[in-house]
Chain A
Amino acid sequence: MAVSADWLRGYTDAILLRELQEGDSYGYEIQKHVSALSKGTLQLKEATLYTAFRRLEQAGYISSYWGDEMQGARRRYYHLTPQGEEKLREEKAQWRETRKTLSILLGEDGYEV
């Protein structure tokens, strides 16, 4: 059964923070990795990606710097800040809570009120 891409897209910020927890990265590398991990379900478009980068950078969760490519356009690398680490912990805790509540509401085995 296919997972809803729209539903996943609601978690773009958290997904990007998690990607950067693995190390500094740039737009296309993250797009590829997210697509591979989600088995092609979540294809982040450039607009979604860079709007999220901008939002996260303005909030202080990530910082950015230019790569030192000598030819053509340069890569913009993104880096997770300590505030970003903290935000990711919060997002994960919130996700666990959401999953638990939803599982109870949907009557999943192993979850009780």
Chain B
Amino acid sequence: MNATVEKLVRIAFQDLREDPEVLEIREAVMRDCQERFEEMTGNGYTEDEAIAAIVESLQGMEEMMQSFQSTEKTEEKTPSRDEQIFQGKKICASLFSSDIHLLPSEDGYMHVHVQEEHRDDFQVEMDGDCLRIQEKEQSHAGREIRSMLSQMQSFSDLRRIVNQALQAVSSLGKQCITVRIPQDMETVEIRTMAGDLEVRQVDCRQMQVHTTSGDVRFTGKNRGTLLRLQTVSGDMDVRGLWQEASVSTVSGDCQMEGNMQKLNMTSVSGDLSIDWHSVEGRLLCKTTSGDIDIHTPASVNVVDMLFHTVSGDCTVHKHRQENAPCHIEARTVSGDLKID
């Protein structure tokens, strides 16, 4: 897939709400544009000419947005036939490759939406007041691989089967599950391997997220008491208001924005960027090679800070004062440090 084409399509859809329907259309449009690009470049057009034609073809997405949003309200009020409704205070989701979206619900229920074609891939059940969502391991691709292996006649087929299996695995992550949750959630626990998480406008007392390669994105006004996020290589872009938050990653980049009285961030090689709205509180950042970039409110002139880097550059645009209400500690081995 050409990276520029993929980026163009993502930009064209960035203002549309990311629900399963929009994601499906985005995928179909992605395919169309990719095919246009390959066909034009294969027929002697330059890559620039093909990109220009795609840009032209992607114009007018706002027209689509208007037509979608005009029906959005009525659609949300009527649960679709594949939408289940639960009452409860807790969600535990364990997913393999699927993306999960947590969106606000106006009617006080948790709604779970699974695309019909992938319904068999998920187990959704109410356990006490906990909604459990589980993706059957390697469901979609696993079935295809098993079916290919069962058709293998001899070892000479093995190479072909392995190639097909690899292609099947590369098609993972097409599934999508949407959970609409009420305002007063107690606990949300989500684990995904490759699936991304999107959280929009959620008010939840405790939230814990763990992904391996999935990206984590919080948009809108999110709030809660405790937030714990962990990724291995997934990037995080998180906004909200929490009393206490801890974020850790190995190689993912992490961007935090909001008001958090106590914030702990650690990374090995991922960069940490914090737009901290708090005028008092405690911020601790630690990386091995990742850069640390901290932005504090303009009204905060003095900070009780401790910066430490072995080989990185250090840029400080705040005054240091011991026992100031804002305490910031940042440590890195080779990363650069910056505070303004």
Q: Interface of A with B (CB < 8 Å)? A: 26-28, 31, 43, 45-48, 50-51, 54-55, 66, 69-76
Contacts and interface: CB of A to CB of B under 8 A. Distances in A.
A46 to B, nearest CB: 5
Given A46-B58, A47-B61, A50-B64, A27 B28 contact: yes
Contacts of B27: 73-74, 76
B28 A70 contact: no
Given A28-B35, A28-B36, A73 B28 contact: yes
| Chain B: number of interface residues, binned into ranges | 20 to 34
A31 B35 CA distance: 12
A75 B31 contact: yes
Contacts of B93: none
B59 to A, nearest CB: 6
B154 interface: no
A51 B28 contact: no
A28 B30 CA distance: 10
A12 B62 CA distance: 18
B21 to A, nearest CB: 8
Interface of B: 1, 12, 24-25, 27-36, 56-64, 67-68, 117, 164, 167-168, 170-171, 174
B167 A50 contact: no
Contacts of A46: 12, 29, 32-33, 57-58, 61
Given A50-B64, A51-B64, A31 B171 contact: no
14 contacts: A26-B28, A26-B32, A27-B29, A28-B33, A28-B35, A43-B56, A46-B32, A47-B58, A48-B60, A50-B25, A70-B171, A71-B171, A72-B31, A72-B34
Contacts of A69: 31, 171
A40 B155 CA distance: 51
Contacts of B58: 45-47
B115 to A, nearest CB: 10
Contacts of B30: 72-73
A75 B28 contact: yes
B164 A70 contact: yes
Nearest to A76: B28
B71 to A, nearest CB: 8
Nearest to B169: A70
Most buried by B among A43, A51, A73: A73
B174 A74 contact: yes
Nearest to B167: A70
Given A73-B27, A74-B27, A28 B32 contact: yes
A69 B35 CA distance: 13
A73 B34 contact: yes
